[in-house]
A = this chain, B = another copy of it.
Amino acid sequence: MSIEIREARAGDGAALHAMVRSLAESHGELAQFRASPADYEVALFGEHPLVGALLALADGVPAGCAIWHRSFSTFRGRETMYLEDLSVLEAYRRQGIARMLLKAVARLAVARGMASISWHLMAWNDGARALYEEAGADIEEGVCICRLHGAALERWCERDSLSGL
């Protein structure tokens, strides 16, 4: 099997969308998945894109992807890369494709002058952790991700408008 890693380009939105949707499904999170292929085309290939991606092709067929977005470190005062998704379709796992993708992400970050890449790891995910340790990443434990959205966001915006806080 021949593996090729390349940057995603206009028209790849549908393939990326299918892979992230498959990831959402395998995590039991399909209810939270609301993106369309067109959303990906706009975010990745519109003007001044915030988002970029790499595709892994196995004998020419999409087998995995890495999706990242621009980020910023207030300590460094520099733009950095945030790796949002690194995924390989079930049928193509255990062949080193995630490792190839992570290496390509690193090379892309350096080529773009970004001195740091960050991403999340679920503490229980030993398989992914082994790869990230091999890559030499610092792993900071004991973090929570907070998300404010939907009805809770609306309520928080509205509360206390007369109390002066």
Interface residues on A, range: 35 or more
In the complex, A136 Cα to B50 Cα: how many Å? 28
Apart from A115-B150, A140-B147, what 20 extra A-B contacts exist at CB < 8 Å?
A33-B75, A34-B75, A50-B50, A50-B70, A50-B79, A71-B82, A74-B84, A106-B156, A117-B147, A117-B149, A120-B146, A121-B146, A123-B143, A123-B144, A132-B146, A132-B148, A135-B156, A136-B148, A136-B155, A139-B146
Q: Are A160's CB and B50's CB within 8 A?
A: no
Closest CB-CB distance, A115 to chain B, in whole Å?
6
Q: Are A144's CB and B136's CB within 8 A?
A: no
28 contacts between A and B (CB under 8 A): A20-B74, A24-B75, A35-B73, A35-B74, A35-B76, A35-B77, A36-B77, A50-B50, A50-B72, A69-B72, A71-B71, A103-B157, A103-B159, A109-B153, A115-B153, A116-B153, A120-B146, A121-B143, A122-B144, A123-B142, A124-B142, A136-B153, A137-B147, A138-B146, A138-B147, A140-B144, A140-B146, A143-B144
